[in-house]
């Protein structure tokens, strides 16, 4: 049976728990559970990294001499060589997470019946625009790399059979100038990020456990965010809004999930605001730990400043049933439980939190759409892998 799939990614949750890593790993595991034999090529793993091999259907192969979570020459050479060594085998599909599989495209013609698929989480142009809007000299300098990647993309995109856009914003960016000039729009298919709804669901028992662990009053109002602690993720905006809210609702706490280079600055900001006793930095969490924290949340904040594809953290909050307040430029539709705001309008965010405080409830029901469930997403991948979309 032709059921082997090779998936290439520079990082997995064992390297770093980010949206792209989680989406990739969920796809790997779900395809393995469907009976496909999955080989994941990635960079060198941290010492002691472990994973479930899904009854022998899932294998992770670190490429020698690579740097954990980063592209280097050894990555491009090693991945291409791995694919070359598998010529003649009946490979069902090769899936490149972002640009990870670009160097393998040189051998595509040797795999006549193999689907080559790219999972796109954004475009080089959008990354360039996002960095230019940051008004950070460091980001402006880094944006030069995005210009170079745009030209690399131009040589690679149309060699794929399909390019999967993980959300509306990615699909739109792919199909408008300047990216539209380097990609065949007919190859772009939208398959939105999918959440494991069996994992991300509300649990009163988990809520009580985490509140007890953190020594927080069960009647307190809990605000949660989950993201990397990078400047563009807008956690500083969250703190400003929470400060205004906490001034009016003293029995409230802000739990910050995630880690990153801005942590020290954010901790200082909390101290400067005088709210450090009500702000708890939880660091990077395993996904099961994140479910615990979300279960105790009364509100979820994501005031990101950057262009995002389809943020996994918002979908996870929706799956657990947590009311969310997010940046207005994100592509989600507003609803009773999801409000969109100007990221710098901290008073509006505070007022929305007060409204949620007044209607606080222990009843949490998922409001995620079917197309954003993992089951739906994996079925769509299977369709294009088998060319039945």
How many other C-beta atoms are found inside a 10 Å radius of the C-beta of residue 151? 10
Question: Whole-angstrom Cα distance, residue 9 to residue 70?
Answer: 10
Domain 4-194+373-385, CATH 3.40.109.10 — does that match?
no
Mean pLDDT within 188-210: 95
| Spatial CB neighbours of 129, under 8 Å, sequence gap ≥ 6 | 307
What's the confidence (pLDDT) of residue 158?
A: 95
Averaged confidence pLDDT in the chain: 93
What's the confidence (pLDDT) of residue 128?
A: 76
What's the confidence (pLDDT) of residue 1?
A: 44
Mean pLDDT within 303-308: 87
- pLDDT band for position 2 (cuts 50, 70, 90): low
- pLDDT band for position 346 (cuts 50, 70, 90): very high
Core vs surface per residue 319-339: b (16+ CB within 10 A) or e: bbbbbbbbbeebbbeeeebbb
How does pLDDT run across 368-388, given as a tens digit for each residue? Answer: 999 999 999 999 999 999 986
Mean pLDDT within 235-252: 98
What's the confidence (pLDDT) of residue 388?
A: 62
Question: Whole-angstrom Cα distance, residue 296 to residue 258?
Answer: 17
Q: Of residues 291 and 310, which shows the higher confidence score?
A: 291
Mean pLDDT within 352-374: 95
Which CATH number is correct for 204-368, 3.30.930.10, 3.50.50.60, 3.40.50.20, 3.40.50.2000? 3.40.50.2000
Length of the chain: 389
Mean pLDDT within 169-198: 94
Q: What percent of the chain has pLDDT over 70?
A: 98
Mean pLDDT within 278-295: 95
Q: What percent of the chain has pLDDT over 90?
A: 80
How does pLDDT run across 32-46, given as a tens digit for each residue? Answer: 999 999 999 999 999
pTM reported for the whole predicted model: 0.85
- pLDDT band for position 147 (cuts 50, 70, 90): confident
Mean pLDDT within 202-206: 94
Instruction: Examine the pLDDT at 8 and tell me if it is beyond 60.
Output: yes
- pLDDT band for position 389 (cuts 50, 70, 90): low
- pLDDT band for position 353 (cuts 50, 70, 90): very high
Cα atoms found within 13 Å of the Cα of residue 343, Cβ hemisphere only = 16
The segment(s) of the chain belonging to CATH 3.40.50.2000 are 4-194+373-385, 204-368
Instruction: Examine the pLDDT at 9 and tell me if it is beyond 90.
Output: yes
- pLDDT band for position 143 (cuts 50, 70, 90): confident
The answer to whether residues 105 and 83 touch, using CB atoms and an 8 Å cutoff, is no
């Amino acid at each position: 049976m032709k059921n082997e799939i090779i998936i290439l990614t520079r990082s997995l949750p064992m390297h770093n728990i980010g949206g792209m890593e989680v989406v990739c790993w969920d796809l790997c595991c779900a395809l393995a559970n469907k009976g496909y034999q999955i080989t994941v090529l990635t960079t060198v793993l941290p010492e002691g990294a472990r994973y479930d091999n899904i009854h022998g259907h899932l294998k992770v192969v670190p490429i020698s001499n690579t740097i954990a979570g980063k592209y280097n020459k050894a990555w491009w050479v090693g991945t291409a060589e791995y694919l070359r060594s598998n010529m003649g085998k009946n490979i069902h599909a090769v899936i490149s997470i972002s640009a990870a599989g670009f160097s393998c495209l040189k051998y595509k013609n040797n795999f006549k019946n193999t689907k080559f698929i790219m999972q796109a989480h954004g475009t080089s142009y959008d990354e360039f625009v996002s960095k230019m809007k940051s008004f950070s000299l460091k980001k402006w300098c880094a944006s030069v790399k995005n210009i170079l990647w745009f030209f690399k993309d131009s040589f690679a995109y149309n060699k794929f059979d399909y390019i999967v856009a993980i959300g509306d914003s990615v699909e739109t960016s792919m199909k408008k100038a300047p990216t539209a000039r380097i990609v065949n729009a007919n190859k772009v298919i939208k398959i939105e990020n999918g959440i494991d709804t069996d994992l991300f669901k509300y649990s009163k028992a988990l809520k009580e456990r985490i509140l007890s662990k953190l020594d927080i009053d069960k009647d307190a109002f809990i605000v949660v965010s989950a993201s990397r602690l990078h400047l563009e993720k807008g956690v500083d905006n969250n703190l400003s809004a929470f400060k205004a809210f906490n001034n009016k609702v003293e029995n409230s706490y802000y739990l910050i999930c995630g880690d990153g280079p801005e942590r020290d600055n954010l901790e200082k900001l909390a101290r400067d605001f005088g709210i450090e006793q009500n702000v708890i930095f939880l660091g990077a969490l395993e996904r099961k730990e994140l479910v615990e924290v979300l279960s105790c949340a009364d509100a979820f904040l994501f005031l990101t400043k950057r262009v995002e594809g389809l943020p996994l953290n918002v979908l996870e909050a929706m799956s657990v049933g947590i009311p969310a307040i997010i940046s207005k430029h994100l592509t989600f539709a507003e609803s009773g439980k999801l409000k969109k705001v100007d990221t710098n309008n901290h008073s509006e965010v505070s007022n929305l939190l007060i409204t949620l405080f007044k209607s606080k409830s222990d009843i949490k029901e998922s409001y995620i759409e079917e197309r954003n469930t993992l089951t739906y997403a994996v079925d769509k991948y299977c369709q294009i892998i088998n060319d039945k979309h």
